[in-house]
Structure 1
Amino acid sequence: MIVVTGATGQLGSRIVERLLTRVPAERVGVSVRDPQKARALADRGVRVRQGGFTDPCGLAHAFEGATQILIVSVDRLGEEGVRQHRTAIDAAVAAGVRRILYTAHMGTSPTSRFQACRDHAATEEALRASGVPWTSLRNGFHAASALQFAGHGLATGELALPADGPVCWTAHDDLAEAAAVILADEGRFEGPTPPLTGVQALTFADIADLAGATRTIAPDDTFRGQLVANGVPEETADHLLGVFLAAREGEFATVDPTLADLIGREPIGMRELLSERPA
């Protein structure tokens, strides 16, 4: 049985949908915090069990009988997030799985300017120490994040954001398709995958051009101050600024053909994603 965590989230739900086109439903299980949100999956024959990364006993039940487990990384940053990932890894080892898979980031590095990438590096170290074969999906930077950063500017026609660098923004749908392919073909990758990216690295100036908007530079302190003024916790504001600091260093600029090879087509581009945005 293949078990996917976070199966009602933005990425996890897409992975399960695409996995079900390759694997019979009775071979798929999900671990979710709220089983009610996964009733539609249960109705289709998927095994739905409650399990959260802060509940080792629940994870033991959710992971029971699994041969592969995909740990979809949590949206917590810093030690809390790494601790939750370690809890999930320990539960997977205890369940006797043949392989643990994990959704990491193309910029994964202990020296990244972006906290999430440092967290992914720490989680990969825990996977190495687990003694179980593992695969880390080095996903391209979610294109949804670019659209969130640019959302207000696209509406007003002026993208006022900190200085950045090229980023290989990648669609959730493509990353989900690739994850399903890798899960259905057990052992296709050992350890970290190559970067799973779109075919083009873009700056926010490029995105502004595609959208017919103007790109202006907001000083780092101004950007951070605006976030805090709008209710964003200071630590979170620092993490968000880290995206731009890392992009300036070229941490997310790699373009790799692996994703296109896995899904059998060219990944969705930013122009298409912009055209799909609600008016």
Structure 2
Amino acid sequence: MIVVTGANGQLGRAVVEGLLTRLPAEEIGVSVRDPARAADLGVRVRQGDFSDPAGLAHAFDGASKVLVVSTDSSGEDAVQQHRAAVEAAAKAGVERILYTSHMGADPSSPFPPMPDHAATEAALRDSGVPFTALRNGFYATTVPMLLAGALESGELAAPEDGPVAWTTHADLAAAAVLALTEDGLDGVTPPLTGPAAVDLAGVADIVTKLTGRTVRRVVVPDADYRAGLLAHGLPEWQANLLVGMFVASRRGDFAPADPALARLLGRPTRSVADFLKGVL
């Protein structure tokens, strides 16, 4: 049995739906915090919370492979939760643990989730269980958030950035399905990215072409951007996280694009321009 955690999220649910096209439903299970929300998937549903190792033991029972979908938090709590999931999977006797890591995973990254991914990869290596760390590209769904208000103001105002290999959930979910059902991906994967690395100036150009409304890229000092976020009510940790994302991107942590994902899928990956066509 293959067990997928976080199946109520966008990526986890897409992975389960993809698995259902390749495997009988009885060979798939999910571990979720809210079982009621996963009842429609038609697979084995068990309550599982990374903060509750005993519950994870029940959720992972009978699994040959477990996909640990990373949490949406960061910091030591996130690392502890990921370690708990890895340890529970190892104790369950699984043949392989898969984890949704990130192309920017690095202990020294200024973007807080990246040291967390690096620490989880270390936990996977220490587990003694064969593992696959899927180094996913940066989710393209972040772009509309960065564009908030840009169409109205005509300005995409944000700190200095660098190229990012934006990647869609659908492509990454398809890769996870292949990793769970076929052999070949062992250890830390190459970056699994979209076809091109695009900075925010490029995004502004794409939006201008798609909408016919001129959007100009405006660079804002880090401190001013952070102050604006705080003024709009964001908690300090979240403001620091967002600023850290820009610092990491201009270090080149989320570039270049890599052909590994397209080779794995056997088809071209979706570009950020194609993604934006569907959401603008």
Letter in 2 for 1:197: T
Q: Partner of 1:8: helix, strand, or coil?
A: coil
- TM-score, structure 1 as length reference: 0.96
Aligned twin of 1:24: 24
> Is residue 2:173 matched to residue 1:176?
yes
Matches of 1:83 and 1:52, distance apart in 2 = 12
Shift, 1:154, TM fit: 3.4
> Is residue 2:151 matched to residue 1:154?
yes
- TM-score, structure 2 as length reference: 0.96
> Is residue 2:269 matched to residue 1:277?
no
Letter in 2 for 1:83: Q
Aligned twin of 1:263: 265
Matches of 1:214 and 1:225, distance apart in 2 = 22
Shift, 1:30, TM fit: 0.2
Change (3 A) 1:100 1:223: same
Aligned with residue 73 of structure 2, among 62, 71, 76: 76
Matches of 2:68 and 2:192, distance apart in 1 = 17
Matches of 1:216 and 1:141, distance apart in 2 = 22
Shift, 1:151, TM fit: 2.5
Shift, 1:236, TM fit: 1.5
Aligned twin of 2:109: 112
Shift, 1:129, TM fit: 0.6
Aligned twin of 2:39: 39
Aligned twin of 1:202: 198
Aligned twin of 1:217: 219
- Please give the root-mean-square deviation of Cα atoms over the aligned residues, in Å: 1.0
Matches of 2:139 and 2:60, distance apart in 1 = 27
Aligned with residue 189 of structure 1, among 176, 185, 208: 185
Shift, 1:155, TM fit: 4.1
Aligned twin of 1:142: 139
Matches of 1:271 and 1:154, distance apart in 2 = 16
Matches of 1:27 and 1:214, distance apart in 2 = 50
Structure 1 residues 33-75: Cα deviation after superposition (integer angstroms, max 9, x where no partner): 011001111xx3x110000101111111100000000000001
Matches of 1:243 and 1:121, distance apart in 2 = 16
Aligned twin of 2:4: 4
Matches of 1:128 and 1:138, distance apart in 2 = 15
Matches of 2:64 and 2:149, distance apart in 1 = 44
Calculate percent identity across the aligned residue pairs.
54
> Is residue 2:93 matched to residue 1:102?
no
**Contact 1:154/1:208 (CA < 8 Å) preserved in 2?**
no
Structure 1's unaligned 5+ residue stretches are none
Question: Does 221-230 or 82-91 show the bigger shift?
Answer: 221-230
Give the length in aligned residue pairs: 274
Shift, 1:152, TM fit: 2.2
Matches of 2:148 and 2:194, distance apart in 1 = 21
Q: Partner of 1:87: helix, strand, or coil?
A: helix
**Contact 1:168/1:197 (CA < 8 Å) preserved in 2?**
yes
Q: Partner of 2:46: helix, strand, or coil?
A: strand
Matches of 2:180 and 2:152, distance apart in 1 = 39
Show structure 1 runs of 4+ deviating over 4 A.
Answer: none
Q: Partner of 2:9: helix, strand, or coil?
A: coil
Q: Partner of 1:11: helix, strand, or coil?
A: helix
Change (3 A) 1:210 1:195: same
Structure 2's unaligned 5+ residue stretches are 209-214
Matches of 2:130 and 2:68, distance apart in 1 = 14
Q: Partner of 1:194: helix, strand, or coil?
A: coil
Aligned twin of 2:254: 252
Matches of 1:147 and 1:136, distance apart in 2 = 27
Matches of 1:154 and 1:116, distance apart in 2 = 29
Matches of 1:262 and 1:202, distance apart in 2 = 22
Matches of 1:197 and 1:126, distance apart in 2 = 24
